[in-house]
Amino acid sequence: MKIAEARVVVTCPGRNFVALKLVTDDGVTGVGDATLNGRELAVAAYLREHVCPLLLGRDPHRIGDTWQYLYKGGYWRDGPVTMTAISAVDTALWDIKGKVAGLPVYQLLGGAARSGVLGYAHANGATTAEALDDVARQVADGYRAVRIQVAVPGVEGTYGVGHGGHYEPAHGAAPEETTWSTERYLSFIPSVFEAARERFGPDLRLLHDVHHRLTGIEAARLGKALEPYGLFWMEDPLPAENVDAFRLIRQHTTTPIATGEVVTSIWHCRDLITEQLVDYVRTSVTHAGGITHLRRIFDLADLYRIRTGSHGPSDSSPVGLAAALHVDLAVPNFGIQEHMRHPTEADEVFPHAYRYADGYLHPGDEPGLGVDVDEDAAARFPYRPAYLPVARLHDGTLHDW
Ligand code: CS2
Ligand code: MG
């Protein structure tokens, strides 16, 4: 069996996605997600120009060898563009292997370790009251875990808060300029979770995303202030490369910490894991080397009783979510899976077998990943440039968004 074709599909059904489709000489297809929000065409070109030609003629069953060939063989290792491209190839090869075996990918990973994948929904609002009404909607929809983001008074364009309805941060031919004030944020956020606990009681799992904006000591202060409300996690208090600052947070607070959505390899989260500086590792199948590499990261985490909390935003495609769900179902140390629904047009371009019911997701039982890209439907939604925002302090200094 040989890889006979490798096609890159760029499409914008509600938002931009890149998919890789591999076809074998006997007609088996496999898909991988190659979406890197705001830098989509860089990955598409990396695949088309440098990776696809090398795949032709290779044995699709040699998943591990192909991974090493693309990682070590490129000489220039790592980085989000390279790793997203490798992720897409790896995921597509697992899809092919599953189809050839006639089994869903989670069976090849050891089989189901649980009956369903606990998902967390997003709730947001311009005010606390609005956000809590959104939490109530998610709870009514069955979710047992909800992330809450609320616009900080006096801070325009707070991260995670939609412009009415669905939250989609990437838009426009240049990044939107937003403002940020750590002081206002820190004094406001604890009141949101106090109100959430009052309204929803002790059982609902509550999550919050800080989106890399604090220093170590600021994050420590926030973690302490949130302790009375028993958060499931405080996400990305600061950029993951600052391992020392995570050490500082750990000295001050027992609020659980999740990080890793921008981490692209095991090397970048090794110290966070082995020093137990985080409680949940959020690396994604789309950006951290596909199913093969994600399993290595999650296995390392399991040695330290650290659980998984895979990134699952609507800017990873349904192919990425499907692949994540197969891993989630099989690994011993699964924690939670982010679930942000895709726009309807995206579900149409990427028909899938995964399903959501009553707080839990399941990848389905079709052979392979159980997801595809409909190339005719994809062609109806041409790429539109869309960038993530930037954040500035009130004096104009560029801050982390
Ligand atoms: C986020 C993302 O889902 C999350 O937790 O942090 O929404 C993130 O902003 C985007 O994936 C960036 O592309
Ligand atoms: Mg996040």
Query: Residues 327-338: pLDDT tens digits?
Result: 999 999 999 999
**Is 360 among the catalytic positions?**
no
Average pLDDT, the chain: 97
Compute, in angstroms, the gap from residue 235 CA to the centroid of ligand 2: 6
b (16+ CB within 10 A) / e for 294-305: bbebbebbbebe
Query: Does the domain spanning 108-367 belong to CATH 3.90.380.10?
Result: no
CA 37 to centroid of ligand 1, rounded, Å: 9
pLDDT at 142 over 80: yes
pLDDT value at residue 116: 98
Closest-CA residue to 225 (of 265, 258, 252, 198): 252
Domain boundaries, the chain: 3-104, 108-367
Catalytic entry in 46, 106, 120, 159: 159
3-104 in CATH: which number? 3.30.390.10
Catalytic residue among 122, 208, 211, 287: 211
Q: Could you give phi then psi for residue 64, rounded to 5 degrees?
A: -65, -40
Ligand that comes closest to the CA of residue 15? 1
User: Is the pLDDT score of 60 beyond 70?
Assistant: yes
The string of pLDDT tens digits covering residues 68-127 is 999 999 999 999 999 999 999 999 999 999 999 999 999 999 999 999 999 999 999 999
Segment 267-292, tens digit of pLDDT: 999 999 999 999 999 999 999 999 99
Is the pLDDT at 346 greater than 70? The verdict is: yes
Predicted pLDDT of residue 241: 87
Helix (H) or strand (E) holding 80: helix 80-101
Distance of CA 389 to the CA centre of its chain: 18
Q: List, in order, residues 6 or more apart from 198 with CB less than 8 Å away.
A: none
Atom of ligand 1 at shortest distance to CA of 311? 3
Task: Determine which of 10-14, 171-175, 191-195 has the lowest per-residue pLDDT on average.
Answer: 171-175
Tokens matching residue 189: 């956020």
Q: Is the pLDDT of residue 164 over 70?
A: no
**216: alpha, beta or left, given left = phi > 0 and alpha = psi -120 to 50?**
alpha
Segment 2-10 shows an average pLDDT of 98
- Distance between CA 196 and CA 207 in Å, rounded? 11
Ligand 2 mean position to 29 CA, how many Å? 32
Cα–Cα distance measured from residue 219 to residue 200, given in angstroms and rounded to the nearest whole number: 25
159 noted as active-site residue: yes
Taking residues 306-327, report their average pLDDT.
97
Residue whose CA lies nearest to ligand 1 atom number 2: 313
Q: Which tokens in the block code for residue 266?
A: 């095991």
Of 7, 4, 22, 2, the C-alpha closest to 90 is 22
Q: Which atom of ligand 1 is nearest to the CA of 235?
A: 5
- Short-list 137, 177, 136, CA closest to 156: 177
